[in-house]
């Protein structure tokens, strides 16, 4: 059975499409279970190390809870708190990368966070509007 792939007209550039196709293939074939533990053990400490600095980086928290935790923080932190915090890559970034791109202006589309839906889109737009 051929692994499904994103179509050429999907709203991603070629690098994002390639990454997503690889991810989809890994999930569907179970390759992630057979991968060496190195990447998993490298990723876990990075998340744990950033947890105290990013208490909102928890998809189990509601948007209101995440925004409260980010009160008084810089633009990038507030934008990250507004994302779904799933690091799913749907937007072509991890949540920190998307927030950084929005904050710097290198990304202007506030609709890319699929898991966050309309609530996240509205919050991202409001935060950027506050900053002018």
Q: From residue 89, how far is each of 1, 23, 34, 57, 101 by CA, in Å?
A: 25, 10, 21, 15, 14
Q: What is the pLDDT of residue 35?
A: 41
Whether 2 is covered by a domain: the verdict is no
Q: What is the pLDDT of residue 18?
A: 75
Q: What is the pLDDT of residue 103?
A: 94
Q: For residue 44, which of 14, 87, 9, 73 has the smallest C-alpha distance?
A: 87
pLDDT tens digit sequence for 26-81: 677 665 443 444 444 333 333 333 445 888 888 889 999 999 999 999 999 999 99
76 and 16: one domain?
Answer: no
Q: What is the pLDDT of residue 43?
A: 37
The mean of the pLDDT values for the chain is 79
109 and 124: one domain?
Answer: yes
Q: What is the pLDDT of residue 14?
A: 74
84 and 46: one domain?
Answer: no
- The whole domain housing 124 covers 56-132
pLDDT tens digit sequence for 112-127: 998 889 999 999 999 9
Mean pLDDT for 98-125 is 93
Examine the pLDDT at 15 and tell me if it is beyond 80. no
Whether the full predicted model's pTM is greater than 0.75, yes or no, is no
Whether 1 is covered by a domain: the verdict is no
125 and 75: one domain?
Answer: yes
Whether 5 is covered by a domain: the verdict is no
- Asked if residue 101 lies in contact with residue 110, where contact means CB atoms within 8 angstroms, the answer is no
CA quadruple 58, 64, 67, 72: dihedral sign? negative
Phi and psi angles of residue 80, each rounded to the nearest 5 degrees, phi first: -65, -40
43 and 103: one domain?
Answer: no
């Amino acid at each position: 059975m051929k692994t499904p792939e994103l179509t050429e007209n999907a709203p991603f550039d070629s690098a994002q499409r390639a990454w997503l196709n690889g991810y989809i293939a890994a999930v569907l074939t179970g390759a992630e279970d057979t991968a060496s533990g190195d990447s998993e053990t490298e990723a876990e400490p990075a998340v744990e190390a950033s947890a105290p600095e990013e208490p909102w980086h928890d998809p189990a928290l509601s948007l209101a809870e995440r925004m409260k935790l980010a009160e008084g923080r810089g633009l990038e932190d507030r934008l990250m708190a507004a994302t779904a915090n799933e690091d799913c890559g749907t937007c072509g970034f991890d949540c920190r990368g998307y927030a950084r791109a929005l904050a710097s202006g290198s990304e202007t589309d506030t609709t890319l966070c699929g898991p966050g839906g309309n609530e996240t889109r509205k919050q991202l737009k409001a935060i950027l509007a506050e900053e002018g």
